[in-house]
Structure 1
C-alpha cells in the first residue's frame, strides 16, 4: 500500500487474540486482518490479547500487546489508539479472553476511546450471569455497532439485551477462497488413499462431543468398513494447563474399548492454514457433534461448509441456520445412533453426498473473506458517520448534564394565546389562533396532562387555566351515551354525540393523572369520579391506542386509589388485550402490535411498561420494553438523529416507516415511553433516547430546523420534506410543553436512585 493509499484507507485497529496464539478467536482476528489489508481499502493493525503467563512471537501485524490481567495495559492501549489517528476500533469479544470479572477490564479501554467501536460478539448468551450481563451491557453501550454471525445472535441481542435493530449487523463467518475439489488428491497427499474419511477439527475439549462420534463408529463401519474418523487439533491450552492430556487419553481408551482404535486417528497438532485446507479437502463427511445449542458461531463449520463438504452436525445455533434447506444434515444432541445413521447414509449414497456438497459450496460464495471484509468496511464507515453525534458525557444520574443539550426555560405565552374562556383552540395560522376549527376534547385533555406535569415542577399552570381544561372535559361528557364528545365548533356547538375511541381513552388518561396529581383536592375527587364513570365504556372499544391511553390513566389512578376492583379489572383486561395483539402480530423483524404504524406509536409500549412495572408483571414489562426498543431503532436515522414515524407511513403494511411528515406528537410519545422504561429499569440508556427525541424539537432533525420558539413556548406543527410547517397549533404546543416538563423533571434528578425512588419521580 502506497503512502497515498494509506492516507485514503480506513485506519482500523482490531482488538482480539492473534496467531500464533492457538484459539478460534486468534484465527478469526488474523484472517479478518488479512482480508481487510488485502482489500486495499483499510490500513489495519492488531492489538493482541495475551493470556496470563504466556508469551508469543507475534507477527508485524500486531502493533501492541495487552496482557489480559494488566489494567495498565488497557489504559495504555486506549492512549495508543487515540494518538494513532485510527478511524474505528473492531473489538473481537469472547468471554474468557479479557481480564477482570466476566472480562470487564476491556471496558476501561473502550470508555477512553475517541473513535467509534464496532464489536463482533462471538458468543451471545441467552442466560448470562449477573456479571456477564453487566459487562456486556456496558460493551453494548460503548459500541457504535454490533456484529454477530448468525440471525440467532440478532434475535438474542434484541430480546435479551434490548439492542435496537438498526445497531446490529449480521455478517457470516468468513471462509477462504478455495476451489471445489475431489477429495482424492488431498487423501493421497496426507496418506489416506483408499479410505473414506470423516473429519472433525478444532481445539479438543469435552464440549465438542467427540465421544458421541466415537460411539457411532461401529455402526458406520458396518456400512463402510474402510471409514476412518480423523480428529485434527491440539488439546485446548486451558485444558492442558488444568489436567494435561487426560481428556485425549480417555477418548483413545474409549476407541480401544469399542474395538475401533484402527478407525479413529488423532492428530495432536495445531496446523497452519494451508495444511488445514488440505485436511478439509480430503474428507468425505465433516462432522460437528457439539453437545450444547448455545454455540453462536463455529469457524470449523464455516470453513468446511465453504469448501463444499457434506456436513453432519448437532443443531446448535450456527449449524441450524447454515445447514438449513438441505445444505447439511442435523442430528439430535448426544445421539450416537442418529449420528452414525446420518453419516452412513451419506457415505453410501454418492449422488446425495455430491448434491449436498454442491449446495453448500454454491451458497457459501458470499462468505469468502474478501466479501466479508467489504461488509465489515461498510459497517465501519457507518460507525464513522454516526460518530459525529458523540455520546453525551453524563455528569449526573439522569444523564442530562450534556453540553449537547440545553433545556429551554418553560414559557407559557403561546399556550395562553391559543386559549380562550372555553379552552384550548385546535389550530393556528402561523401563531394566530384559527377559530374556524374550534376545539376538541383531545387537545384539552392533553392540556390537562401538561397542567399535571407542570404541577410537579418549578413552574405551575394557573388555577384558572387548569380549571378551564377540566371544565371542557366535564362538558364533553355525554351521560346519555356514556361517551365523551370530541369536536366543538367555535360557537360552542358539539358536532357529534360521541367522539372517537382514541379521544375517549386520552380523556381517561388525563382524568387518571388529575385524580392523582392535581393540586386541588376537590378537582382530584372530580377527576376520580368521572374517570370511574367513563371507564366501563372502554370494554367495547377495538382501538389499541384507546386501550393504551386508558392504561396510562389507570396507572396513576390505581396508585392513588389502591384496591379499586373496577379499575383493576379493566387494567387486567386492557393489558391482556395489548399482549395478545403483540403476540399475534410480532415476528423476528416486526416487534409491533399491528401490521402498520400510525400516530402516537410509543404510547402502546409505554402502557405495557407502566402497567407491567406497577403490577410486577415481568411478561408485560418485557413486552413493552421489547417493542419500544424496536420502535426506537426504526425511529433513528442513519445519521443517528431521532426520526419520528412520518404521517405518510399511515396505512402502509409491515414496511419501514417513511420520513415525512414528522409531527411533535411522536417525539412526545417517544420521550414519555423512554422515561417510563428508565423508571422501570433504571437503565440510563433510555434517558439518552429521550434526550435524542427531545433534541428533535431543538433542531437535531432531518432538516436541522428548530421547531420551537423558546421565548414564547410555541412549536411548529411538524416537518415537511423541504420545510417546517409554520402553523403552531394547540396539539403542537401542548406536546412540546409536556416533553419539556418531563425532561426538566428528569434533569433535576440526581444521585443513584432505586426503582421505587424512580417511580416516585412521577408523583
Structure 2
C-alpha cells in the first residue's frame, strides 16, 4: 500500500499525537508499505528527510500566536503560505496514495489533504486526538461554534472513517460530528513498547539531587486542560506525611498557574520544572519515579499509558469504561481518582508511598495491561486491516 500520514504535529515536535503518528508511520513502513508523512515546518527541522524507512515532508507554515486557550500549543498553519496547495496536490499525485491517515480533525493540513482525497476518490481515516472542549464557558462556546460552523462541515465533505481513542472521544464525536458505529473504529492509543525496552539514557535522581527521597513525576505539556493544580493542592498533605517528597514536571509550560499556586502554598522548592525533554529520555524519568501523575483533570492519554508500561505506579482520573473493549479494574490494573480532586490525589499518593509492595504490584499489573492492549504492534495491525478494507471497498465502487 501507498500510505500518507498527515499531522501538523510531528517529531522533532514532542507530544502524544506527534509520537503516535510517527510510530505508526514507522510501523507501516516496516510492514513493507510505502509511506509519506506530511507535516508543518517546525523549528530547524529539515524541509524533507528520510527517517525510519519513510519520507517526511515539512511544508512552510505560519506560527499562530499563543492566546492562553485550553488547547494552546505552538501551532503552525500551512494553508496560508503561498504555493502550498499547489505543491501539496502535485506531491500527492506523484506519490499516488491508496489510503490517507489524518491525525487531528481541526488542523489545516488534515483539511487540505482530506479535500485532495475527496477529489481523487481516495479513502481517508482520521484519528481524533484532541477534543475542542474547555471548562471555561467562553472558550467552550467558541469551541462548540468552531466545531459547528467549520470542523463538522469540512468533515462532511471529506467523509472520513473515524478512529476514536476513548469513550470521551466517542461521546464527543457522536454529539459534535454525528459519528456512529457505521463510520467509526475504536482503537486505543498506540504505545511504542520497544522504546521502553531500551537502556536508560540518564540517572534522573542523581542529575536533580533527589537521592532516595520519594519522587513524583508528572510528564506532559502543561496546559489548562492538564494544569497540575490537583497535584499542587495535594502536596501539603503529602509533605506532612512524607516531607522529603519532590515533584519533577516534564513538558513545555504553556500555563503556569501551578507554579504560582505552589509559591502561594510555600512549596515551590518541592517542584523541579524541566521543560520539554527528548523522547529518548522519557523512560529515564519514569524509571526514576516512585509515582507518576499527569491526567488528573480527566482522561488517560499517551503519557500516562507510557508511564504504566514502564513499570511505575501511575494515577489517572479516567473512567473504567474509557477504552471500549478494554477491561479496566480500579486498584488492580489502573488507579483512578476523581477529576480535579486534590484530596483524593493526596490520599492515593500517600497510600502508595506508605506501601511499597502494593505500589510494585500495581505497577506490574498496569504494565501488563498496557502491553497487551495498547502495544504499537497490536494497534498497527488494526489500522492496516481497516486500510485494506477501505481500499477494497473503494476499488469496488470504482469498478461498479
TM tier, smaller: 0.7 to 0.9
| Contact residue 167 and residue 322 of structure 2 kept, 8 A | no
Shift of 1:200: 0.8
Tell me the distance in 2 between the aligned counterparts of 1:46 and 1:160: 28
Residue 309 of structure 2, aligned match among 306, 311, 326: 306
2:325 is the alignment partner of 1:325 = no
- Select the residue among 45, 54, 78 that pairs with 1:56: 45
Change (3 A) 1:337 1:176: same
Residue of 69, 87, 93 corresponding to 2:104: 93
**Is residue 15–residue 49 contact of structure 1 (8 Å, CA) maintained in 2?**
no
- Cα deviation for residue 64 of structure 1 reads 4.7
Of 151, 164, 188 in structure 2, the residue corresponding to residue 148 of structure 1 is: 164
Partner of 2:281: 275
For 1:400, the equivalent position in structure 2 comes to: none
In structure 1, the partner of 2:345 is 339
- Residues 315-356 of structure 1: CA distance to partner in whole angstroms, max 9, x if unpaired? 379968779312222223322122111111111112221221
Distance 2:285 2:321 in 1: 22
Q: Distance in 2 between matches of 1:105 and 1:142?
A: 10
State the match for 1:70 in structure 2.
80
In 2: Cα distance, 1:219 partner to 1:73 partner: 54
Higher Cα radius of gyration: 1
When the two structures are superposed, what TM-score results if normalisation uses the length of structure 1? Answer: 0.43
Using the TM superposition, give the Cα deviation of residue 30 of structure 1 relative to its aligned residue in structure 2, in angstroms.
1.8
After TM superposition, list the pairs within 5 Å mapping 1:628-647 onto structure 2: none
Partner residue, 2:13: 21
Distance 2:121 2:346 in 1: 54
User: Contact between 2:115 and 2:157, CA under 8 Å: does it hold in 1?
Assistant: no
Alignment of 1:595-614 (within 5 A): none
Give the 3 Å change call, closer, same or farther, for CA 203–152 of structure 1 in structure 2: closer
Quick one: structure 1 residues 130 and 253, their matched pair in 2 at CA, closer, same or farther if it must change by over 3 Å? closer
Alpha carbons 1:213, 1:289 under 8 Å: kept: no
Change in Cα spacing, 1:305 to 1:274, as seen in structure 2 (3 Å) is: same
Distance 1:260 1:155, change over 3 A: closer
Alpha carbons of structure 1 residues 281 and 220: separation in structure 2 relative to 1, 3 Å: same
Partner-residue secondary structure (3-state), 1:173: coil
Cα deviation per residue 1:462-516 (whole Å; 9 max; x = unaligned)?
Answer: xxxxxxxxxxxxxxxxxxxxxxxxxxxxxxxxxxxxxxxxxxxxxxxxxxxxxxx
Residue 212 of structure 1: aligned partner: 230
Q: Distance in 1 between matches of 2:145 and 2:364?
A: 45
* Matched position secondary structure for 2:28: helix
Per-residue CA deviations over 1:646-683 (Å, capped at 9, x if unaligned) read xxxxxxxxxxxxxxxxxxxxxxxxxxxxxxxxxxxxxx
Q: Alpha-carbon deviations, 1:702-750, whole Å to 9, x = none?
A: xxxxxxxxxxxxxxxxxxxxxxxxxxxxxxxxxxxxxxxxxxxxxxxxx
Secondary structure of the equivalent of 2:119? coil
Q: Residue 175 in 1 paired to residue 191 in 2?
A: yes
Q: Deviations over 1:276-335 (max 9, x none)?
A: 1111122111112443x4x5x622122112223322222379968779312222223322
* Match in the other structure for 2:73: none
Rounded Cα–Cα distance in structure 1 between residues aligned with 2:156 and 2:383: 18
**1:256 alignment partner, one of 241, 256, 263:** 263
Note closer, same or farther for the CA distance 1:235–1:256 as it changes in structure 2 (3 Å cut).
closer
The one of 26, 36, 48 equivalent to 1:45 is 36
| Helix, strand or coil at the partner of 1:171 | coil
| Structure richer in helix, relative to its length | 1
Which residue matches 2:247? Answer: 229
Structure of higher RCO (CA pairs closer than 8 Å, 6+ residues apart): 2
Structure-2 residue corresponding to 1:133: 148
- After TM superposition, the structure 1 = structure 2 runs for residues 327-476 of structure 1, keeping only pairs within 5 Å, are 327-366=333-372, 367-390=374-397
* Secondary structure of the corresponding residue to residue 191 of structure 2: coil
Deviations 1:119-146 (A, max 9, x none): 1111355886244235235325524522
Deviation of 1:24 (Å): 3.3
**Cα distance, 1:131–1:81 mapped onto 2, change above 3 Å:** same
Q: In structure 2, the residue corresponding to 1:207 is in which secondary structure?
A: coil
Report the TM-score when normalising by structure 2. Answer: 0.78
Does 1:165 find its partner at 2:157? no
- 2:132–2:144 contact (8 Å) kept in structure 1: no
Q: Given the superposition, is the C-alpha separation of residues 137 and 355 from structure 1 closer, same or farther in structure 2, using an over 3 Å criterion?
A: farther
Q: Distance in 1 between matches of 2:246 and 2:368?
A: 27
The structure-2 alpha-carbon separation of the partners of 1:252 and 1:132, relative to structure 1 and needing over 3 Å to count, comes to closer
2:318 match? 315
Q: What is the Cα deviation at residue 389 of structure 1?
A: 4.2
In the alignment of these two chains, the number of paired residues is: 361
Whether 1:202 and 2:220 are equivalent positions in the alignment is: yes
The alpha-carbon distance between structure 1 residues 323 and 50, as it changes in their structure 2 partners (threshold 3 A), is farther
| Matched residue SS, 1:311 | strand
CA distance in structure 2 between the partners assigned to 1:50 and 1:202 by the alignment: 22
Which residue in the other structure is 1:109 paired with?
116
- Check the 8 A contact 2:230/2:296 in 1, yes or no: no
Q: CA deviation at 1:186?
A: 6.1
Structure 1 unmatched ranges of 5 or more: 1-9, 237-246, 392-403, 405-699, 701-763
Deviation at 1:155, TM superposition (A): 4.5
Check the 8 A contact 1:290/1:316 in 2, yes or no: no
What's the secondary structure of 1:388's corresponding residue?
helix
Contact 1:11 1:85 in 2 (8 A): yes
